[in-house]
Amino acid sequence: VFKKCLMQILLPVLDDVKSLRALVNPDISKIRNIGIMAHIDENNMLFIHHGLPVFTDFMAQERERGITIQSAAVTFDWKSHRINLIDTPGHVDFTLEVERALRVLDGAVAVFDASAGVEAQTLTVWRQAEKHHVPCVCFLNKMDKPAANFSIESIRQKLKVNPVLLQIPVGSGKGFTGVVDLLTNQRLIWKQSSMGDDGRVFESKPLDQSDEPELLQEAHEARTALIEQVAELDDEFAEILLTDFIDNFDAVPSTKLQDAVRRVTLARKGVPVLCGSSLRNKGVQPLLDAITAYLPAPNERRWYKDDLCALAFKVLHDKQRGPLVFLRIYSGTLKPQTAVHNINRNSTERMSRLLVPFADQHVEIPSMTAGNIALTVGLKQTVTGDTIVSSKASAAAAARRAQNDRGTEKKGGENAGVVLSGVEVPDPVFFCTIEPPTMAKQADLENALNCLQREDPSLKVRVDPDSGQTILCGMGELHIEIIHDRIRREYGIETHLGPLQVAYRETILHNSSTTDMLDRTVGERRHVVAVELSVSPVDPSSPGASCELAFTEELGMQLSKEMKDAVENGVYSSYLQGPVLGYPLQGVSTLIQSVNMEPGTSPAMVSACVSRCMLKALKQAGGQILEPVMSLEVTVGEEHLSSVLGDLAQRRGTIRDIQKVQLPLTFEMPVTEHYSLNLFCF
């Protein structure tokens, strides 16, 4: 709803989308690369509504479910500024989409439900923004809900930041009509005269004595508190305040206050907070003004100077155009029909076309300069996280400049210092099998999975060596469900998802020694062999625990290579089938003490005798079934710790360490509880 409102406000601006004049590269100081991040469903994107075009939720799954699944970029102009907006999902299963968007953004808008405050996934995306040092603006949405609570304490306490209140609401619940801008003392009122009113028009007027006394008093107190708070966070503003306005805070110019709020925001000492109601289309224009006023323009240390340097942060597959690669340009100029060098792949590719995602259209343009986000066609080898430069020579020159700046010698290769940091891909937490309807579709399924993995690095595909099953590894049940649906819709393959076959193992409990003898005549040839060996357990839970084989020093020197191989075949074939239920063995050490044989005994008979002797020894040692376990980390508030511990105990989890709330709680639990693990989305 928030983005639906944003699109409606911008429709007049987007009418001239096909005009190249509207796409002229602006000055870098006028560019804002921002993202929208929120809890699930707080930033649902625009769907077809009253004839309006689609904004960024273009996938069928997004429209059906009413959530954002893939991050998508859109470009528009607002009051002489170019805004490159990336919409990010709010569901934890698609956290990579947030991660790679924040990697290339300069600022972000965090959207909150005013009736709920800071929610679970809000914390997750906020931590991601902090990791990338992204300045943020907060927007308290749904101010017209009856339960709306205009309180910033949730932001202060849970996000551990200084909320800087720039507005107060006019009215509450259904009576919410607008906001008071505390910087300018302007009252902004949206009068919804009809059902078709889309919120583009609002009334702005200064506060005066004709307004309600309670509103005047509240605005005066809030502005005074704002001035005092900004003075505490910004030394330059504090000096101005003490020098010129110590006796009259009301005389502080809005421009001085705005400049100070911008410095506080860029230094990440405070977070501007605005409010509104997207459903009624109230408060979005001031938010756009805040984006241009307080969030930063692109600014990167430029070892490449004026040469091209860009980061690939997203890949899409188009049936007609092939791979579409989103690039954030940090320096230089990007042009179509030119060759570019991929440092990570050490390859050169030709970019055929250059597009800008303007509204819901991809408009072809002749060039794109630093600070912008571009969509390219023709880069078939580039993947998420790759650094794109103009040439090898450019990369080498940048490496030399970087080394001179750092005063260090060459280390890790010529280009080690000039590859942009890529996107951190989280480890998968949800696993299931996937099968094609027939073996004839296996190759098509593999192609589909390869394309989807290139688009989504958080999706992993592997073949289980024990069961031979194809395993999908993802960020959650919904993530895998969306992948399954895309394979059906986009690639026309009706696949089947199923549970994993649990990879149990066996081990032995005690030491055991035994002997065995084989005396067999095959045709005219007699085969006689006697074997003595011992087995002992090795801790199966220790890192890299496996089954071992050794010979006594004397025997190792006596046996020929052919007979050693025969003994090894007999031992390792026994490791494949344990004595309890026939699962493979783990954590067993075998020592071959003697192998005596008559001349003419074949290696096959030696191997058979060793295998039989191993079976006797393993049975004597006693067996035990081993379940696979996985290590997990959970971060949980102190008030929920006891209930979480109880739940983990019911699932046979073993607690290894408990630390303070800010640090992880670690434990192990059987993988047989895998589907329950999806519940642990803290």
* Number of other CB atoms surrounding residue 537 within 10 Å: 17
Q: Render the burial of 59-72: b for 16+ CB within 10 Å, e for the rest.
A: bebbbebebbbbbb
As separate numbers, helices (DSSP H) first and strands (DSSP E) second, the chain gives: 17, 34
- Written as one string, the DSSP assignment of 577-624 is S-SSSSPPB-SEEEEEEEEEE-TT--HHHHHHHHHHHHHHHHHHH-EE
CA distance 600 to 593: 21
pLDDT digits (tens, 9 = 90+) for 439-483: 999 999 999 999 999 888 899 999 988 778 899 999 999 999 999
The full set of domain ranges for the chain reads 1-204+271-294, 309-406, 430-498, 505-626, 629-673
User: Which of 449, 479, 475 has the alpha carbon at shortest distance from 462?
Assistant: 449
pLDDT digits (tens, 9 = 90+) for 82-97: 888 887 776 767 778 7
pLDDT digits (tens, 9 = 90+) for 125-180: 888 888 888 899 999 999 988 888 878 898 999 899 999 999 999 988 888 899 99
387-389/338-342 β-pairing: antiparallel
User: Which of 274, 422, 267 has the alpha carbon at shortest distance from 343?
Assistant: 422
Mean pLDDT in consecutive groups of 10 residues from the start of the chain, 682 residues: 51 45 69 81 38 46 65 81 81 76 87 86 85 91 85 89 95 89 93 66 87 90 94 94 86 93 94 88 91 84 71 86 89 91 91 79 86 90 90 83 59 52 82 93 94 91 87 92 92 92 86 92 88 89 75 89 93 90 90 91 92 94 85 81 88 82 49 34 27
pLDDT digits (tens, 9 = 90+) for 280-319: 778 989 999 999 999 998 864 455 567 888 999 888 888 7
CA distance 274 to 164: 9
Q: What CATH number belongs to 430-498?
A: 3.30.70.870
Architecture of the domain spanning 505-626: 2-Layer Sandwich (3.30)
Residues in the chain: 682
Residue with structure tokens 């937490």?
429
pLDDT digits (tens, 9 = 90+) for 239-280: 999 888 888 888 889 999 999 999 999 999 999 999 998 777
- Torsion sign over Cα 58, 62, 66, 71: negative
Q: Write out the CATH class of domain 1-204+271-294.
A: alpha beta
What is residue 195's predicted lDDT score, i.e. its pLDDT? Answer: 57
Task: Tell me what percent of the residues of the chain surpass a pLDDT of 70.
Answer: 82
What is residue 543's predicted lDDT score, i.e. its pLDDT? Answer: 57
Name the CATH topology of 309-406: Elongation Factor Tu (Ef-tu); domain 3 (2.40.30)
